[in-house]
Structure 1
Amino acid sequence: MENNEESGEVYHVPVLLEEVLEGLAIKPDGIYVDCTFGGGGHSKEILKRLNEKGRLIAFDQDADAQRNIPDDPRVLFLPHNFRHIHRFLRLHKIPPVDGLLADLGVSSHQFDEAERGFSIRFDAPMDMRMDARQEKTAYDVLMRKSELGLHKMFERYGEVTNAKTLAKTIVEVRRTVSLKTIENFKQAVQHIVKGNPNKYFAQVFQALRIEVNDELGVLKELLQQLPEVLKEGGRAAIITFHSLEDRLVKTYFKKGDFEEVEDVYDLYGDSGKSEHFKLVNKKPIVAGKEELKRNPRSRSAKLRIAEKI
C-alpha cells in the first residue's frame, strides 16, 4: 500500500500501476496529466520516468489530496474537477500533452474517512461529495428527488434489484423520518433490503455517489476534450470500476461518440470508427493474480488505453 509519510497513514493503493506506466509509453521530456491525483501513487512513478524537462499536471478536487503533493518544480497541482481540464491547461499555457491518466475509483482514503459518508461501514452524515465546496449532498438527493427520479437512479447507477420499491419507500419515510445519517437511512429502508445487506447498500451508495458527483457527466466531458488536450501520438489511459463508466470509455475510444451501435461498421471498413483515436488495447486490461492478492480493490478495475491519431 502507498504510504503518506508525513501523516503516517495509508492513503491509497495505485491500481494497475505497471500497466498504466507501460501503456502511457512515457517520454522523459514529456508533459503528463494525472486527472485524479489522490495519494499521488501513479504520479510519483510517472515523475521517476521524467527528466528535468518533463512536467506533470495533477488535478484533484478533494482538498485532502493536496497533502500528498510532492515538493517538485516539475509538478503543477490544480485543485479542480478534471471536467474543466482544457480550460485550466489553456489558462496555465500548457500545450497539448503526451499522456493523460484518469483513475475513476473512490480512493481508499475517501472510503476510510468516516465523515465523508462514502462507506456503509461507518455512521456519518449522508454526504458523499468528492468536492466539499459543492452544495448538493446525498441527503439532498434523498430528500428532493422525485420517486421516479430515485427509481431510475438506483436502477441505472446501482443496478439495485428492487429500485422501484426502494424509491417508493424513501418517498414515504422521508416525510416523517430523518435520513440525515447513514444509520438513519439504513434503518429506514432495512425492511425492504434484498439479499446480502452489505452488497445491497454498496449498490445503493454507488448510485447516490454517482448522482451527487455527476460522475458520468464528468467522464463524458473529459473524453470529449481529449482530442484537444492530447498531442498527436499522445495517449489516454482510463481506469474504470463499473460497467457504466467502462462502456462510455470503450464506446468513445472506438466510435468517437457515446452512441452504442453494434459493430456492423466493421463490415464496411473503417466507417464509424473514431477519427481521433486508435485503440492501444482492444480488450480492457485487468489486474493479475499478484495484484488481486495485494489489493482486492483492483478486482473490478478495467484499464483502456487509446492513442491520438
Structure 2
Amino acid sequence: MTGRGDGDAGAAGGPARHVPVLLGEVLVALAPERGGRFLDGTFGAGGYSAAILKASRAARLLALDRDPTAVMAGEKLVRSSLGRLTLIEACFGELDAVAAGEGFVPLDGVVLDIGVSSMQLDEGERGFSFRLDGPLDMRMGSDGDSAADIVNGASEARLADIIYHYGEERRARAVAHALIEARRKAPIRTTRELADIVASIVRAEPNGPHPATRTFQALRIAVNDELGELVRALHAAERALAPGGRLVVVTFHSLEDRIVKQFFAKREGKGGASRYLPGLAPAEPTFTGVTRGPVLPGEAEVRANPRARSAKLRAAARTMAPAREEETSVAALAALPAASSSRGGRA
C-alpha cells in the first residue's frame, strides 16, 4: 500500500491527507537539484512532484497518473508551478512515448512509486479496501474489467492462480472454491461480501493482517496488470533516460521488489556471462547502482506513517550504453504461471 500524497504543499488541491513515503531518500537518489527534465510516473496526490519542483527552480517535471481523479485534483499544483509541471492521464508503462510527445526526452530522472495510492484506498466507492464497504471495482483507471468481473467470471483454476501468485495466499484453492460456491447463489458485488467470504476460509492470525488482505492484493494486481505495467515502465525508463539520468523505484511488496531487483541486476551486468554460453561476451551495462541494496524507511517514518512499513527504494543511474531489448526473465516474473489446480493449499 502506498502513500503518494503530500504532507505540506496541498498538491491535491485540498487538505493534506497523506504523506509521501521515503521522500527524503527519493530526493537524495533522484538528485533533482541538478535541474533538467524529470518524470514522476505515479503522481497520486503530488507529494513527490511538489518536492521535486521545490528542490530546484531549474527542474521541469512531467507527471503521469492513470487515475483521472488524481489528474483533476492535481490541477492546483499545475497552476502554481508556473509552467514547470505538465500533468497527464497516462499509464507509466508508456512513459517514454508520452515524454517524447511532450518534448521531455531525454530525461534526467524518473521516479516510480508502485501500487495503489492512499487516496484510492480511502475512498470506499473505488472498491480497493475491505475497511470501507463499496462496489467491487479496484480499477485505477476508468476502463477494463473490474474485480467483480474477475470474481464472478473467471474459472476456479484461474482464480486460484491469481490469488496464489499475486497474493501469495497459501489457501488460494480453498478461497477460489468458496468464491465459486458463493457466486452460484448470487453475484459477489461488494468489498464487504468478498472480505466475509475470504474470512470464512482463511484463519485470522493474532496481530496479523485481515484474512482478506492477500486476496484483495491479488485481485487489484490482476485488474490493473500492475506487475506487467512495472516491467514496461522499467524498460521505458531505460529508453528515455539520458546518460547519468536516475531511475528511482519505491515498491511495497515482494513481487514488485523482485522485479525491480532483477531488472537492475541484469542491467548492471551482475552475474557475468551465461554458463550455458561461455563464449558470449556479457552485454554492456545500461545502469550502474546508486543505492546498495534496498533503502528502507526508518523507525520514525514507520511510526508516523504505518503504510511505509513495507516500502523499499532501489535506484540506478543510466550509462551511455544503448537500451536493450525486453528482459524476458524479468517479464516472466510479472506473468501468471501456467494454470495449475494443484497450487494453493488444501481445498
> TM-score scaled to structure 1, two decimals?
0.90
Alignment correspondent of 2:161: 152
Q: Distance in 1 between matches of 2:136 and 2:121?
A: 13
Q: Does the CA-based 8 Å contact 2:198-2:212 persist in structure 1?
A: no
Within 2, Cα distance between the matches of 1:176 and 1:283? 49
User: Structure 1 residue aligned with 2:196, among 159, 164, 187?
Assistant: 187
Instruction: Give distance in 2, aligned partners of 1:5 and 1:222.
Output: 24
Q: Specify whether residues 177 and 188 from structure 1 end up closer, same or farther in structure 2 by C-alpha distance, changes over 3 A only.
A: farther
Specify the SS of the correspondent of 2:185. coil
Residues 264, 169 of structure 1: alpha-carbon distance in 2 compared, 3 angstrom cutoff: farther
Q: 1:276 aligns with which of 261, 278, 286?
A: 286
Range moving further from structure 2, 118-127 or 196-205: 196-205
| 1:222-280 superposed Cα distances (whole Å, 9 cap, x missing partner) | 011122110000000000000010000010011039xxxx9576999xx7577211111
Q: What do the CA deviations read for 1:77-119 (whole angstroms, capped 9, x no partner)?
A: 1111111111111112222110010011322211111111111
Give 1:86's aligned residue: 96
Partner-residue secondary structure (3-state), 2:212: helix
Aligned partners of 1:49 and 1:189: how far apart in 2? 46
Report the Cα offset of residue 168 of structure 1: 1.5
Quote the residue 1:118 is aligned against: 128
In structure 1, what is the equivalent of residue 332 of structure 2?
Answer: none
CA deviation digits over 1:184-235, x for unaligned, max 9? 2233444312234853211110001000000000000001112211000000
State the one-letter code of the partner of 1:81.
Answer: C
Q: 2:69 is matched with which residue: 40, 64, 70?
A: 64
CA contact (8 A) 1:2 1:39 kept: no
- Give 2:334's aligned residue: none
Task: Give, in angstroms, the shift of residue 293 of structure 1.
Answer: 1.4
CA distance in 2, matches of 1:112, 1:8: 15
1:303/1:274 CA distance change after superposition, 3 Å: farther
Q: Distance in 1 between matches of 2:188 and 2:204?
A: 22
Structure 2 unaligned blocks of 5 or more = 1-5, 320-347
> Within 2, Cα distance between the matches of 1:285 and 1:47?
23
Q: Would the aligned equivalents of 2:164 and 2:170 in 1 still touch at CA under 8 Å? A: yes
* Residue of structure 1 aligned with 2:300, choices 290, 294, 298: 290
C-alpha separation in 2, matches of 1:10 and 1:48: 17
For residues 305 and 134 of structure 2, what CA distance do their matches in structure 1 show?
26
How many residues get paired? 303
Residue of structure 1 in register with 2:19 after alignment:
13
Unaligned runs of 5+ in 1: none
- 1:85 partner SS: helix
Question: What's the RMSD between the two structures over aligned residues?
Answer: 2.5
Query: Secondary structure, in 3 states, of the residue corresponding to 1:175?
Result: helix
- Cα deviation 1:268-299 (Å, max 9, x = unaligned): 9xx75772111111210000111111111110
3-state SS of 1:200 partner? coil
What is residue 103 of structure 1 aligned with on the other side?
A: 113
Cross-structure match for 1:171: 180
Q: Structure 2 CA distance, aligned partners of 1:5 and 1:307? A: 28
Contact 2:137 2:147 in 1 (8 A): yes
Specify the alignment match of 2:343 in structure 1: none
Retained in 2: the 8 A contact 1:110–1:116? Answer: yes
Structure 1 residues 30-71: Cα deviation after superposition (integer angstroms, max 9, x where no partner): 1110000111111111101222x4210000111221213411
Select the residue among 167, 170, 178 that pairs with 1:161: 170
Q: Percent identity?
A: 39
Partner of residue 228, structure 2 = 217
Give TM-score scaled by structure 2 length. Answer: 0.81
Check 1:7–1:233 CA distance in 2 against 1; reply closer, same or farther (3 A cut).
closer
Stretch of structure 1 that moved more, 178-187 or 81-90: 178-187
State whether residues 35 and 58 of structure 1, in contact with CA within 8 Å, keep that contact through their aligned partners in structure 2.
Answer: yes
Conserved 8 A contact 2:245-2:317: yes
CA distance 1:263–1:56, change in 2 (3 Å): same
Note closer, same or farther for the CA distance 1:62–1:6 as it changes in structure 2 (3 Å cut): closer
Contact in 2 for aligned 1:254/1:278 (Cα 8 Å)? no
Distance 1:45 1:203 in 2: 32
